[in-house]
Structure 1
Amino acid sequence: MKVGYLGPEASFTHNATRTAFPNEELVSYHSIPACIKGVEFGEVDLGVVPIENTIEGSVNTTVDYLFHQTTIPVGAEIVLPIYQQFMVSKKNQARWLETTKIMSHPQALAQSQEFIRTYFPLAELEATPSTAYAANFVASHPNQKIAAIAPKMSAETYDLEIVGKDIQDVEINQTRFWVLGAEKIELPIQSEHQKLTIALTMPNNMPGALHKALSAFSWRDIDLSKIESRPLKTTLGEYFFLIDINVQKPQLLLDNALEEIRLMGGTVKIFGNYAIHPINGV
């Protein structure tokens, strides 16, 4: 089986994918849409993409593509603890405080702002396609006073020296990844609870539309763990709502709640009903 992931190698997504699929062929993609299209076009059987981070929130590229452009189901979720490392070439290890440019993925830069402000308030920050890309660039330019923020695996892969350990602003920093391509996907990682994710759109000009929709869950005591609005990309001021539901009630009760919303004139798109698989100690 082939499993696609947002690359390159040694990125956080690669880390999660490698742990969840240790014996499968892994295929790197340069972007989230490219990875999802790889599943759509049959280049790979499954795809792994980030969906949310503790600090930075939802990955809008993933949410919007799955809502607007595909019907590929979510079959599992992986939760990976995120530890950001500050790394330089071995040649610059002794003078790492002289770094003039810091490179990383925008989310990694945002997750490490306190460290950057403390040690490098004047350094140039350069966003890169991935954390692993930044590490690779630093390794390829050892004579430049540059550094990367990336996972530990990147330092090992590209032979860099970690000079700042676990520099993320929040100690408990996690990223959720969705496994796409099948309605139910078995992983060799112990699962916790089940989750149902839907996208909800209500009719225009309906007073209290969101309140009425949420009441379908409320009076049935259905627990919602997340609700977020995203632009419909039609007219300014029109949105769909991304909702995560903790599956603790009978399926019939959930189905009835969704049917009640449809009877109000709402539209419901089901992303997936899937198990949560936390990864520990990676």
Structure 2
Amino acid sequence: MAGIKEIRTKIKSVQNTRKITKAMEMVAASKMRKAQERMRAGRPYATKVREIAAHLMQAHPDYTHPYMIERSDIKAVGVVVVSTDKGLCGGLNTNIMRLVLGRLKEFDQKGIKVQATALGSKAAGTLSRIGADLVSQEVQLGDKPNLERLIGAIKVQIDDFVDGKVDAIYLATNRFVNTMKQDPSFIRLLPLPSGLADPFQSQGDTAEDAQDLVKSNYGWDYIYEPDSKTVIDDLLMRYVEGLVYQAVAENMASEQSARMVAMKAASDNAKKVIGDLELVYNKTRQAAITKEISEIVGGAAAV
């Protein structure tokens, strides 16, 4: 009967685990919808800023913002890595960190110095363990991205780019495709692409394609003050901030989707394990009862 008791205890344990994973699945599903709404709500803002800035830069080609200057000789780069603060979300963090480590290895082979910024506890922990030059970090981001906290973390990288200490800044995040699919992406944040093509949607577009998009979609009638240079400076700053905010929002939506799928898989696996254990329990119990009956019948026959 000791075997039966152990199996019963194990069944109870797996049932309790399934209750937890089922609850986490439901919580993730609720948070996922809100995260997706925030992610989609941020896209029109970045799109409109990009349109206006691209129009003004075409209207005033004599002024080139520092964010748009291409560096021919790349000696140092900055990498901003967006991850989650918590685990239990499948391979989401593993995939993005595998991509980042691969790119860091490529930079190292080319003799390019790398300085990193971590947005999320998982990225901060991994970058610290590998000995990366971590110049800034922001952890415990919560369920809703806070732009002020994000700006504080990335300002170090942006200032170094403007001062010429780094020649490019890259952004690594999980791009939300749908509930079942999240793509790890490694995009260039600065210098901004020609024509201000959306890096999240047009990673494969050429500069000519981006320029055609600008010419075909952007209008030309704007009244602004005080002057074009000031407006362009402010717009591009807001645009870069919007890109980082969008990257964190995409990663948060990906996190909740991946966690919901992972917890559903865990709940389904727990249900299967419970079924297998109950089958073993019933067989063991039946064997024990049969053995007892055999002993009783044998004893009666002996008498």
TM-score norm. by structure 2 comes to: 0.24
Structure (1 or 2) with the greater strand fraction: 1
Q: TM (normalized to structure 1)?
A: 0.25
Structure showing the higher helix proportion among its residues: 2
Larger radius of gyration: 2
Structure with larger RCO (C-alpha < 8 A, sep 6+): 2
